[in-house]
Amino acid sequence: MTTFVLIHGASSDSWSFSRLAPVLTASGHTVVAPDLPIADEAAGFEEYVDAVISAIGTRPPVVLVGASMGAFTAALVAGRVPTSLLVLLTPMIPAPGESIGTWFSTTGQGAAVEAYAAELGLDPAAIDPSVDLRGAFFHDLPADLVAHMEAAGAPVQAGGIFGAPYPLQRWPEVPTRVVAGRDDRMFPLPFVRRLARERLGVEPEVVPAGHLAALGHPQDVATTLLRLAGEAGHG
């Protein structure tokens, strides 16, 4: 049995794994999906990490899954709890000392999105989350799920964490894998593939999903996570 620790990204919470978690538990595994203190303007990386570690408690080595901005937190947690595998899902792949706020410019994410928009034949504004959430994040989600999310609204995300210096000194000595979304409009596949090679020296796994892969394609994500966990020695 594997304990999967699912770490959400910005403007999100544990509900973002509400369709993935049941697939993993139905296979006989345990899921821990903590809520990070994203609404707290004073909360920094230490508070984010503490929230995850508190939720994990005393368990055997875990599989950490950091989605999107959750990759920043996941890499820090991996250095502090027994971890057999670190998986970054449709991620912001961080580098030591790089803040979340500067990540977008230092990685060239904006240019990558513009190139992908051109490839799709779309105006970049059509996949800009500040202009069109549907175009950026919801384009591959079921209509009823989109309606629910739009009615509920996104959890409030405080901005303080974006300017905080990233305290990671070096990448944790934990096997690391990247799972990219084939149809991710926020972090296009060629962009994630380049970062995964440059920063981690790995080739990403690819699932047929947009940025919110765990919500849009939970079965595909679960199948990939279970396979990667098995390769890392988890039954």
- 40-54, 82-96, 123-137: which has the minimum mean pLDDT? 123-137
Collapse the DSSP code of 178 into the 3-class scheme (helix H, G, I; strand E, B; otherwise coil) and give the result.
strand
Separation between Cα atoms, residue 159 and residue 221, nearest integer Å: 29
Reply yes or no on whether the pLDDT at 204 is more than 70.
Answer: yes
Q: What b-and-e string marks burial along 123-148, b requiring 16 or more CB atoms within 10 Å of the CB?
A: ebebbbbeebeebbbbbbbeeeebee
User: Which architecture does CATH list for 3-102+154-231?
Assistant: 3-Layer(aba) Sandwich (3.40)
H-type alpha helices, the chain:
21-26, 45-56, 70-78, 100-107, 109-120, 133, 143-152, 160-163, 189-195, 213-216, 218-231
Map residue 232 onto helix, strand or coil.
coil
Under 8 Å between Cβ of 132 and 195? no
- Give dist(CA 116, CA 202) in Å, integer: 22
Per-domain boundaries in the chain? 3-102+154-231
Tokens for 18, please give them.
């509400």
- The predicted structure's pLDDT at residue 142: 93
pLDDT surpasses 60 at 235: no
Mean pLDDT of all residues in 194-198 = 98
